């Protein structure tokens, strides 16, 4: 039994190693990386759904021509929220709140060719509009695509 266990462990160790190739520089393999910033001010947010009911959230949609079908199918898109011009959080971002009860706030995004939507949704379906009163919220969209 010990021999079978030893062979199994040895096999896992030997075959689980992955050899990595040398790191390439940006663009050498035909990739292009572009970064876009969007400032969302309190008066930009819109409501979706009925306040207090499932499916209620606030959103802001922006045009982004670089977000093509090709990028969505073959590239990569990373989206971040930036608070106070310093704190980057990759989306989706989840944060707890305790204000007239405990709830979870989720900041997420939706991508379509030519458009990106930034979405803020509270778990109690009572997302106030604007979700960040008096604050500008900045979003960063990084598109990685083939040239």
In a domain, 125, yes or no: yes
3-state secondary structure 36-85: EEEEECHHHCEEECCCCCCCCEEEEEEECCCCCHHHHHHCEEEEEEEECC
With respect to residue 9, please indicate whether it lies within any of the assigned structural domains.
no
Kindly state whether residue 38 falls inside one of the protein's structural domains.
yes
Residue at 7 is within a domain? no
Q: What is the pLDDT of residues 53-86, one digit of tens each?
A: 999 999 999 999 999 999 999 999 999 999 877 7
Residues 6+ apart with CB under 8 A from 103: 96, 97, 122, 123, 124, 126
Rounded Cα distance, 107 and 122, in Å = 9
Q: How far apart are CA 3 and CA 10, in angstroms?
A: 10
CATH value at residue 78 = 2.60.40
- Containing structural domain, residue 122: 30-146
Confirm whether 17 is domain-assigned.
no
**Does the pLDDT at position 123 exceed 60?**
yes
The pLDDT value given to residue 17 = 37
For the entire predicted model, the pTM comes to: 0.77
Structural domain contains residue 92: yes
Q: How many domains does the chain have?
A: 1
Question: Is 55 within a domain?
Answer: yes
Average pLDDT, the chain: 82
**CA 16 to chain centroid:** 30
In this structure, is residue 102 part of a structural domain? yes
pLDDT band of 27, cuts 50, 70, 90: low
């Amino acid at each position: 039994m010990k021999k079978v266990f030893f062979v199994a462990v040895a096999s896992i160790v030997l075959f689980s190693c992955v050899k990595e190739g040398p790191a390439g520089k940006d663009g050498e393999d035909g990739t292009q990386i572009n970064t876009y910033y969007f400032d969302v001010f309190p008066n930009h947010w819109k409501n979706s759904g009925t306040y207090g009911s499932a499916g209620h959230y606030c959103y802001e949609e922006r045009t982004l021509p670089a977000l093509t079908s090709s990028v969505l199918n073959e590239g990569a898109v990373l989206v971040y929220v930036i608070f106070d011009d310093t704190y980057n959080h990759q989306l989706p971002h989840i944060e707890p709140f305790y204000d007239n009860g405990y709830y979870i706030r989720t900041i997420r995004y939706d991508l379509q060719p030519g458009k990106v939507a930034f979405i803020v949704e509270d778990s109690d379906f009572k997302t106030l509009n604007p979700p960040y009163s008096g604050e500008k919220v900045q979003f960063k969209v990084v598109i990685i695509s083939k040239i």
